[in-house]
Amino acid sequence: MLRFEAVRKSYQNTLILKDLSFTIHEGECIVFLGASGSGKTTTLKMINRLETPSSGEIYYHGQPIINHNVYALRKNMGYVIQNSGLFPHMQIDKNIGIVPSLTANSMLTTEITKALEQVGLDDSYAKRYPLSLSGGQQQRVGIARALANNPDILLMDEPFSALDVQTRGQLQQQLKDIQQSLNKTIVFVTHDMREAFFLADRIFFFNDQQIIAKLSPEQFLRSDIPAIRRFLQDLSIWDYPAFLKVRDILPKLAGVPIAQNTQTITLEHDIPLTDALEQIASATDAIFFLPSLANSTIGFHLKQADCIKLLTMQYLQIQPRLKGGI
C-alpha cells in the first residue's frame, strides 16, 4: 500500500532523515518509535505530503505519491494529532462531518451516531461543543472525525500522550478494536514503549536519523541491538508475559531417550507460554512431554499438576535473573 524508497529529508542543509526504505501493508498497525526529535513526525507528515522529501520516492498504491492530487490524497488519509484539533466553534456532529462535507457528501444523523458509537460515545454528544468535553472525549471525537471519510490509512501523531493513564489505556484498547474490526492501516507515532508494544504489528525504531529496525513487539523486546537495549533500559520480555514462549522458561533438562505414545501431548518450545498453560489446564487426563532444549528426544513426562508446577517454578526462578534483558 505504502512504500518509501531511499527517502532523505534536510532542512537548510541540515540532514534530518536519511535512507528511509520500508513498505507498509494494508491492514497493518505500524508504530514509529524513538526518542523525541528522531524524525518520527516528519516521516509521518511525508505520507500525506505535509512535508516533502529532499530526495528519494514515496509510493502510494503503486504510484509516486507526488503524482496524486494532494487534496484527494489527504481526504483518503485520516489524521489525528495530540490535542484532537477540533474546531471549538463547531458542534461535535459538524466536526465529525467536516471532511465528507468538503466533497459535498454530508453525513446523515445516523452516520454521525454510528461514528460516535465506534469510539464509545452516544448520540447525546452530537450537539455539544468541544470545550464541554474532557480531553479523552475530545480525542475520541478526533478519531471519529478521522474515520468519517472511510480513509485507507489512519495517521496518528502521539494522540494519547497528553491523557491520564487510565484514559490512555481505554483509548488504546478502543483503537485496537477499531483497527481489527475495520482492518484499517494505521501509522502511529509515539515515544511510549508500552503503547507501542500494545498496538503495533511492527515497530519501526528511529535512531541516528534513520530507521534502524523494523520488528514485531516480541522481536523488539528480544533484540540485542545496542540502541534498542539502551532505549528499553530495564524493560525486557519478562515484563510482557504474553510474549513469553515455553523455551524461555524451560530448563535444559537432562535425561534418557523416552518413547512417546499417542496419549502424550508434546509442549513445543516456540508456543506462547500462555497457550501452553491453557493447553495443560484443558487436558486433565493427558500426560505432557517437555523436551529438552538441547535434545528434543529427551525430557520429562509429567502429569497436569506437575507440569504446571514445573513451568511456574522455572518462571519464578529465571525471571529475576533475566529481568534486565534477554
Per residue, what are the HEC states of 229-285? HHHHCCCCHHHCHHHCEHHHHCCCCCCCECCCCCCEEECCCCCEHHHHHHHHHHCCC
Least-confidence region, from 48-52, 303-307, 322-326:
322-326
pLDDT confidence of residue 317: 63
Whether the pLDDT of residue 24 is over 90: the answer is yes
pLDDT confidence of residue 325: 40
Whether the pLDDT of residue 103 is over 80: the answer is no
CA distance 15 to 137: 38
pLDDT confidence of residue 263: 66
Question: pLDDT band at 255, cuts 50/70/90?
Answer: low
Counts for the chain of helices (H) and strands (E), in that order: 13, 13
CA distance 157 to 233: 24
pLDDT confidence of residue 326: 38
Whether the pLDDT of residue 140 is over 60: the answer is yes
Q: What percent of the chain has pLDDT over 70?
A: 90
Comparing 101 with 17, the larger pLDDT belongs to 17
Least-confidence region, from 35-49, 178-192, 264-278:
264-278
pLDDT confidence of residue 181: 87
Least-confidence region, from 11-25, 86-100, 248-262:
248-262
Return the DSSP state at 190.
E
CA distance 197 to 242: 11
Whether the pLDDT of residue 184 is over 60: the answer is yes
Domains and CATH numbers, the chain: 2-234 (3.40.50.300), 242-322 (no CATH)
pLDDT confidence of residue 272: 85
Mean pLDDT of the residues in the chain: 85
| C-alpha grid cell, residue 82 | 495530540
Average pLDDT over residues 23-42: 94
Whether the pLDDT of residue 312 is over 80: the answer is no
pLDDT confidence of residue 257: 54
CA distance 205 to 265: 39
Note the Cα 277 to chain centre separation in Å.
Answer: 25
Average pLDDT over residues 232-242: 79
Whether the pLDDT of residue 262 is over 80: the answer is no
How many other C-beta atoms can be found within 10 angstroms of the C-beta atom of residue 247? 14
CA distance 274 to 278: 6
Question: pLDDT band at 187, cuts 50/70/90?
Answer: very high
The residue behind cell 515455553 is 246
Residues 6+ apart with CB under 8 A from 300: 253, 255, 289, 290, 310
Q: What percent of the chain has pLDDT over 90?
A: 34
CA distance 5 to 21: 5
pLDDT confidence of residue 28: 95
Average pLDDT over residues 145-154: 87
Whether the pLDDT of residue 58 is over 50: the answer is yes
C-alpha separations of 22 from 4, 8, 186 in Å: 5, 13, 15
Whether the pLDDT of residue 10 is over 70: the answer is yes
How many other C-beta atoms can be found within 10 angstroms of the C-beta atom of residue 304? 17
pTM: 0.80
Residues 6+ apart with CB under 8 A from 294: 252
